[in-house]
Structures are given as C-alpha cells and as structure tokens.
Amino acid sequence: QVLLGKYLGGIGSLFIPLLTGLLAALVVMNLSAAVSLSAPDWLAILIIFFLSLVYLSAFFLLGMTVSSLTRRSSTALIILLALWVVLTELLPNASIFVAKNMIPLPSMEKMRAERKRIEEQKDKEESKIWQAVQQRALKGKLQVLQSKNDSNERGQIFRFMSPAAAEFLKGTFKDIEPIELKYADKIARQEQSYVRQLERQRRLADLLAAPSLARPFSLLVCALAGTDVEAFKAFVGRAGQYRLEILAFIKAQLASDPYRFFSDDPVEEVQKDWPRAVKEGRISRAELIEKMKFADSDPRRLLDLSGMPRFSPPQEGVLERLSRRWGQLIILLISNVSLFLLAFSFFLRYDPR
C-alpha cells in the first residue's frame, strides 16, 4: 500500500503539468486558422496524452526501483541520470550506428554515377534512332527537328510543320517513348533497391532501440499523428494511384485527337500546312513568325479539365494507425508492470537501517 500510494501520488503530480501543457497547446492550435481538428484527431490526441503518461510512469517506476536499491538519494540520482542518458540518448543513437554498419548503403556518389551511366546509355540509344530519323527525313525531303531536345516544349513542334513531317515525327516518337520508359524503369529499380536497404536499416535500428522506451514511445506518437514512415508510404502510394487516374482522364480527353498525344496543337492547325503556304506565297514568312508568337495563347490548346479527378489523401482510423505499433505499446506496458514488480520486490527487501 505504501509503494502503491507513492506511485499514485507521483503519477498524480506528473499528470497535472502534463495536462496543463496539453491544454495550452490545444488553445494555441485552436487559435490558428491553419489547424482544423476532426473527431479522429481529438481521439488521437487523447491517446497520445495517456501514452505520454504511461511513458513517464515507466521512468517514475525506474526511479522507485533504483531508490529501493540504494540507501542514499544522491547515489540514486547519479544512477538514474546515467540510466536516463543511456536509455534516451545513447541507446537510440547507438542502434542507428550499428544498423548503418550492419546494413551499409551505397554512397550517393555511387548512386549518382550509376544513374549517369544509365542516362548515358539512354542517350546513346536515342541518338541512334534520331540519326536514322534524319536519314529517313532527308530521303523523304522532310524538315524535322534535329533531336527531341531541340524544342523546349514538345507541344509547339507540330503547328508549323507540314502534315507529312508531323506524321513522320509522330511515328518517330513511338520509337523513342519505349526507350524512355525502359530507362525510367531502370532508374526506378535502382532507387527502389536503395529504399529497400534503407527500410531494412531503419527496422533494425528500431529493433535495437526497443529497450530504450524513448524509441517505442516516439514510434507510437508518430503513428497516431500520421507522420510515421508507413503513413508516408501510404501517401506516396495514393499519389501513384492519383497519377494513373489523371493519365486515364487525359487519355479520354485526347482520344478524339491523336495529335494531342504529341502536341497541344489542334489537328486543324497541323493540316493547314503552313510551310507550303509560305512557299506558295499565300502567307509571308513575317506573318508566319507573327502567328508563332501568339501560338502559346491559342485557347484551343487548352484541355477541358473541369472533370479532372481530385486528389484525396489516404484515410486511416486512429485504431488502424495504432495497430501498426502494437509491439511498441506492449513494450511500454510490460516495462511499467515489470518495473513496478521490481520496485515492489526490492522495497520488501529494503533494510532502512
């Protein structure tokens, strides 16, 4: 009863400043127009508050345990200070150091060099195709771009070409795009390999730091706040799905006009064959240049985006977030129970003489 009363009194004394700090933070948040809390957010805040109390309880019980083992309060204070440094600073940082050495990552210089090598391979393949394009164009007496990069915006390259040249170039892009996709896939695989190694490293560090109590508590709070790695990965996954939705929407918009896949010029502009018009004297070169100046502001270039799908972030319930960190929650609870039993055991053996 004495030990339990001491514990409840200590937790009660910690509860008041913790609650005061929480209320002050909530007042500040409510005064901000940028913060809007929903019902799940309030529930998450409430759970975080009680988890904070459990976390403080573990250290309070650790203090009671050490006090039951020592005769002098100064000795207990020094031991507890050392334990606090080890558990909150040394162990979490040491776990990161060990994980980095056990699961080494390739250096950024090596990653950049590998990416540069992949891009150089892509450029070589594309250069071969564009050389063949130029040869075929010369045979067909067509004027096309020297390379795809000769135009800052691919959307402007068709308007002032002849229809034959536009058709020719459109077919060329069909040869180029698979190469773009192939090497983009190689770069993505390289980055994914790095991320997988980084994920293994992070998990090992979390496992090694589990006895520190600080790391499990931090992971729990981040999960409830929706700011942990898993929440970020869910957001990235949803962003990828949204990208596919946008692509499907744009494809549906462009289905009636095949030129719009390659250019933002309306097909009727391409069919006017401006090069022939200049050659035949139906329009002067100066007039054509003037038309080119206003090509960007042609409203027909714009797609109707009124029905474009809107992005909706992934929605997770509070309990769903908490379920990702059951292990850390169990560690905190077991630590409290174990430390209380240890304190009780040592208290019974304590000799006040």
The predicted pLDDT at position 149 comes to 42
Element (H, E) at 266: none
* pLDDT tens digits for range 125-176: 888 887 777 776 666 555 544 444 444 444 445 556 666 666 676 667 777 7
Residue 311 token pair:
């992005």
Of residues 282 and 25, which shows the higher confidence score? Answer: 25
Over residues 61-67, mean pLDDT? 87
**Distance from C-alpha of 104 to C-alpha of 120, rounded to nearest angstrom:** 27
**Distance from C-alpha of 185 to C-alpha of 180, rounded to nearest angstrom:** 9
Over residues 97-117, mean pLDDT? 89
Closest CA to 173 of 68, 263, 240: 263
Least confident of 236-250, 295-309, 324-338: 295-309
Domain residue ranges of the chain, discontinuous segments joined by +:
2-103+326-349, 108-209+239-301
Instruction: Determine contact, residues 196/103, Cβ cutoff 8 Å.
Output: no
Helix/strand/coil for 268: helix
DSSP assignment letter at 238: H
Q: pTM value?
A: 0.71
Instruction: Determine contact, residues 214/88, Cβ cutoff 8 Å.
Output: yes
Over residues 277-295, mean pLDDT? 73
Most confident of 192-196, 220-224, 263-267, 346-350: 220-224
Over residues 290-304, mean pLDDT? 67
Over residues 50-55, mean pLDDT? 93
Q: Determine phi and psi for 55, rounding to 5 degrees.
A: -65, -45
The residue count of the chain comes to 353
Sequence-distant (6+) residues with CB within 8 A of 115 are: 187, 190
* pLDDT tens digits for range 196-253: 898 999 999 999 998 888 899 999 999 999 888 889 889 988 998 998 898 888 777 7
Q: How many helices (H) and strands (E) does the chain have?
A: 13, 0
Up-side HSE of residue 189: CA atoms within 13 Å toward CB? 8
Of residues 135 and 187, which shows the higher confidence score? Answer: 187
Residue 109 token pair:
């210089």
Least confident of 48-62, 68-82, 89-103, 222-236: 68-82
Helix/strand/coil for 70: coil
